[in-house]
């Protein structure tokens, strides 16, 4: 079977069914021998990069699962910086730049621009989008 290069875009929060579907798709893609060029988090999807989500112990913690997945496979998880700033998802550099009291972006994530989405699409066979307004 021919393998494919995927870019994934996630537009919904880690509490959404779309986030769970996207993660399961990403797991299945890698398990099937396919490549994930980049996972781009936009709109409410940026909350997946927050290290400050606290999920009750008997509920799935999608933000943590995303972080573990991205770290374990050395994937390129990119969070749109403009969307993240609007929603209070900041790394150390942005927290300092805007004089905010804390950074909450978990390690393994990069804040960057929308150009990263377009660049990944150009390097992929398929863009698969999850969630949205």
Partner 1 sequence: MARSLLLIARQAPWSGLAAREALDIVLAGGAFDLPMAMLFLDDGVFQLAAAQQPAAVQQKDLTANLQALQLFGVEELYAAGRSLRERGLAEDALGLPVRLLDDAELTALLDRFDEVITL
Shortest CB 68 distance to partner 1, Å: 27
Q: Is the dihedral of CA 21, 73, 56, 44 positive or negative?
A: negative
- Our CB check for partner 1 shows the closer of 65 and 124 to be 124
Answer yes or no: 129 catalytic.
Answer: no
Cα–Cα distance for residue pair 47/67, rounded to 1 Å: 12
- Our CB check for partner 1 shows the closer of 65 and 116 to be 116
Q: Could you tell me the strand order of the sheet in which 77-80 lies?
A: 109-112, 77-80, 35-41, 5-10, 126-130
Active-site pick, 63, 80, 81, 111: 80
Binding site for partner 1 (CB under 8 A): 9, 11, 42-43, 82-83, 86, 113-115, 117-119, 121-122, 124, 126-127, 129, 132-133
Q: Which two tokens stand for residue 112?
A: 């960057």
- Our CB check for partner 1 shows the closer of 7 and 67 to be 7
Catalytic residue numbers read 80
């Amino acid at each position: 079977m021919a393998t494919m290069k995927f870019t994934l875009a996630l537009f919904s929060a880690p509490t959404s069914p779309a986030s769970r579907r996207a993660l399961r798709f990403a797991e299945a893609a890698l398990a099937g021998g396919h490549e994930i060029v980049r996972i781009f988090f936009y709109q409410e999807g940026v909350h997946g990069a927050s290290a400050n989500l606290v999920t009750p112990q008997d509920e799935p913690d999608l933000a943590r699962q995303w972080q573990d997945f991205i770290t374990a496979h050395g994937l390129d998880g990119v969070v749109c910086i403009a969307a993240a700033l609007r929603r209070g998802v900041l790394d150390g550099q942005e927290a300092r730049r805007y004089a905010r009291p804390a950074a909450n972006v978990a390690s393994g994530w990069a804040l960057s621009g929308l150009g990263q989405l377009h660049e990944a699409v150009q390097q992929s066979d398929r863009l698969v989008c999850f969630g949205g307004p």
